[in-house]
Amino acid sequence: MDSREEAIYNRSLAAMALVGFLSFLLLSVYRKPLDFMPFYGALAFLGVVFIGYFFTGWVLISSDKFLLLLSSFLAQLGLIMLCRINPELFKKQVLFFAIGVAFFIVASLFVKYLLRLDIRPFFYWVVTALLLLLPLLFGVEKGGAKNWLAFDGFTFQPSELAKITFAFYLAGTLKEGRIESLPRMAGEILLVLGLLVLAKDLGGAMLFYFTALIVIFVATSRADFMALGGGLAAVFGVLGYYLFDHVKVRIEAWLNPWKDVPGRGYQIAQSLFAIAEGGYFGTGLGLGRPDFIPAVATDFIFSAFAEEFGFLGAAAVVLMYFLLVYRGIRIALRLKDDFDVLLAVGHTVMFGMQIFTIIGGVIKLIPVTGITLPFMSYGGSSMVMSFASMGVLNGLWLKALEDENDDEA
C-alpha cells in the first residue's frame, strides 16, 4: 500500500470514527435519562475496528484494507440504527461484529494458505446441500422461513454459510471453463434451489439461482445459457405466482401496494412512507418513526436509515455497497488462476445481488423478498458470514499479490 493510499485510508477511518462518535453521543444524550450505553457500545465497536486494523496490518500485510473499512463503516451505520431501534439488539450486534471481524481474518488466512489443497467441488456441494437440509430436518421457523437452527438459546442460519460454500462449489466445477456434464450440474443446482424453496426462503433461492447463472456465464462465455436461465427464471416466477400464495401476495403488493394497505401492502407501504418522510436530508437521527416499519431491524433497516438520514444518506450507503462490489471485481481482475477468479466473482455476485434484491425490494423497485442487508441488518449469521465473504475476497487479494511477487522473482 503506497503512502497516498495509506493517507486516504487513514482519513476514511477518521471520518468513520467521527461519524460514530457524534451519532452515538447524540443517542446517549437524546435518550432520557442520560444513558451511556450507546457510547460504551460505540467504544467497543471502534476498539474492534482498531484491533482488526492492527491485526490485519500485522498478520496480513498488504491486505485490501478498504474491504474491512467499508464493511465496518456499513456495520457502524447499521449499529447506529439498531441502537436507536432496540438497544438490546444493538448490544448483541456489537458482539456479532467482533466475531465477524475475527472471521474476516480467519477467512483471509484460510484462503491464502489452505486453498492450495485440492478440494473437490463435489465436497463443497455436499456441504452446501447438508447446510440447507439441516434446518429442514431440525430447524425452527422464523419470519415465515424455516431456515434456522437452534442450539439452546443460540440460533444460526446455515443458509448464510451455504452462500460461501456454494460459491466455492461453482468455482470448483467451472474452473475448466466448461460444464462437464450439464444434466449433473443442473441437477445439483436445482437440488440446492429446491431445498431453499422447501424452507420457503424464496429470496435465498433467487439469490443462489442468479449467482449460479452469472458465474456459469463468466466461466463458459455461453450467452445461450444466460438466455435459457433467464427464460427459466421467468417460468419459475410465473409458476411461483400461481403455486405459492406467499409469492402471489408479494408480487401483488409490489404491483399495487395501495390496493390493500392494511393487509398485503402493509410492509412495503410502511417502508415507502418512511423513505418519503425522510426526504433529501432525513428527519435526523432519533426523529423518525422506525417503530412503524415491520421487520425494521432486519429486512427493512434500509428504510429506517433512509427516513432518518434522508436520500443523501441512503444514496451514500448504496454507493458504499457499490464500492465493495467494485473491490471484488478489481480483485477478480488481478487474479491469475481461473478458480480464484471464479471464486472472487461468485462471492462478489452473491453479495451484490443480495444488496440489489433487498434495497430494490424495500424501495419497491422489485418485489420484496425476505433477505438481510449485509452488515446493516440485525443478525449474527448474516453479519459473520458477510465478513467471512469479505475475508475470502481479501485472501484472494493477498494471493494475487503473492503470485505477482513470485512472477517478478
* Min dist. Cβ of residue 342 to other proteins (A): 8
User: Which residues in 248-277 contact other proteins (CB under 8 A)?
Assistant: 258, 261-262, 269-270, 272-273, 275-277
Residue 43, phi then psi, degrees to nearest 5: -60, -45
Q: What distance in Å separates the CA atoms of residue 403 and residue 335, rounded to the nearest whole number?
A: 8
* C-alpha cell recorded at residue 363: 424501495
Q: Does 359 bind other proteins (CB under 8 A)?
A: yes
Q: What distance in Å separates the CA atoms of residue 308 and residue 30, rounded to the nearest whole number?
A: 14
* C-alpha cell recorded at residue 321: 455497497
Q: Does 333 bind other proteins (CB under 8 A)?
A: yes
How many residues sit in the footprint of other proteins (CB under 8 A)?
Answer: 51
Q: Does 400 bind other proteins (CB under 8 A)?
A: no
Q: Which residue in 177, 187, 230, 231 binds other proteins (CB under 8 A)?
A: 177
Question: Would you say 144 or 279 has its CB closer to other proteins?
Answer: 279
User: Which residues in 86-105 contact other proteins (CB under 8 A)?
Assistant: none
Give the alpha-carbon dihedral of 303, 89, 348, 300, to 10 degrees. Answer: -20
Question: Would you say 248 or 330 has its CB closer to other proteins?
Answer: 330
CA distances from 11 to 6, 16, 22, 24, 390 (A): 9, 9, 16, 20, 22
Q: Does 9 bind other proteins (CB under 8 A)?
A: no
Q: Which residue in 18, 61, 227, 365 binds other proteins (CB under 8 A)?
A: 365
* Min dist. Cβ of residue 363 to other proteins (A): 6
Q: Which residue in 56, 63, 93, 348 binds other proteins (CB under 8 A)?
A: 348
Q: Does 57 bind other proteins (CB under 8 A)?
A: no
Q: Does 360 bind other proteins (CB under 8 A)?
A: yes
Nearest in space to 296 (alpha carbons), one of 2, 133, 82: 82
Q: Which residue in 1, 25, 126, 318 binds other proteins (CB under 8 A)?
A: 318
Q: Which residue in 140, 144, 315, 402 binds other proteins (CB under 8 A)?
A: 315
Q: How far is CA 138 from the centre of its chain?
A: 25
Cβ neighbours of residue 16 closer than 8 Å, sequence gap 6 or more: 49, 69, 72, 73, 76
Q: Which residue in 46, 162, 195, 341 binds other proteins (CB under 8 A)?
A: 341
Question: Would you say 132 or 345 has its CB closer to other proteins?
Answer: 345
* C-alpha cell recorded at residue 255: 404491483
Q: What distance in Å separates the CA atoms of residue 283 and residue 278, rounded to the nearest whole number?
A: 5
Point out which span in 76-84, 149-157, 332-340, 399-407 binds other proteins (CB under 8 A). 332-340
CA distances from 200 to 126, 148, 406 (A): 21, 12, 48
User: Which residues in 283-302 contact other proteins (CB under 8 A)?
Assistant: 283-284, 287, 289, 292
Q: Does 345 bind other proteins (CB under 8 A)?
A: yes
Which residues form the interface with other proteins (CB under 8 A)?
A: 177, 214, 217-219, 221, 258, 261-262, 269-270, 272-273, 275-277, 279-280, 283-284, 287, 289, 292, 306, 311, 314-315, 318-319, 321-322, 325-326, 329, 332-333, 336, 338, 341-342, 345, 348-349, 352, 355-356, 359-360, 363-365
